[in-house]
A and B are shown apart, each in its own frame.
Chain A
Amino acid sequence: EDQVTQSPEALRLQEGESSSLNCSYTVSGLRGLFWYRQDPGKGPEFLFTLYSAGEEKEKERLKATLTKKESFLHITAPKPEDSATYLCAVQASGNTGKLIFGQGTTLQVKP
């Protein structure tokens, strides 16, 4: 069964304290791995798609990496405005577009 597990569930950082979020997955043929950011009371906002092991993508203070079993979202020198829930999802190959989500990591960055 396709499954996504994210860790930790919650993470508190001081401003400027870099860290990483983990997304472990099992899927019957990976078509893509997606990262989203969700702010309270809003819908998830697309960040990155990764397609194959070894791929990396960056956006401002965020960098996503992918291996055959997991993905990391590295946050470098975070700011309070990076506080949000970060969601990881996988799409299996041959799929109908369905995304399977992890339970998310809630990040709080304190000034």
Chain B
Amino acid sequence: DTAVSQTPKYLVTQMGNDKSIKCEQNLGHDTMYWYKQDSKKFLKIMFSYNNKELIINETVPNRFSPKSPDKAHLNLHINSLELGDSAVYFCASSSRQTGSGYTFGSGTRLTVV
């Protein structure tokens, strides 16, 4: 059983398009995150939800909109894609109560052409 699963794994799209990435966790964690990893492998937080409530919203363009229908799911919708959005996007989850380390998904490699 995959603990944190993301779909799709690869996404190639043209500039200006709108796309979504889905994430689901079956660990019973109460907090989920979206991180962006650039070409130099630097991981930077974008958003975090705790029990469906947005708790972290870093300086991210308004074109990025997270949605959490329940505490096991966190989706990322991106409008009007730009070349600079090309990166690997990771979903992760954790338990704030236990202070455990994150469990990451396998990532979605987004390429904007």
Residues on A lying within 8 angstroms of B by beta carbon are 31-32, 34, 36, 38, 41-46, 49, 85, 87, 89, 96-101, 103-104, 106
Contact = CB atoms under 8 A, between A and B. Distances in A.
Contacts of A49: 99-101
Interface stretch (B11-19, B36-44, B74-82): B36-44
A85 B107 CA distance: 15
Chain B binding surface SS class: strand
Given A44-B104, A45-B104, A49-B101, A104 B41 contact: yes
Chain A binding surface SS class: strand
Interface residues of B, number: 26
A96 B43 CA distance: 17
Contact of B106 (A43, A85, A89, A98): A43
A101 B101 contact: no
A45 B45 CA distance: 17
A91 to B, nearest CB: 8
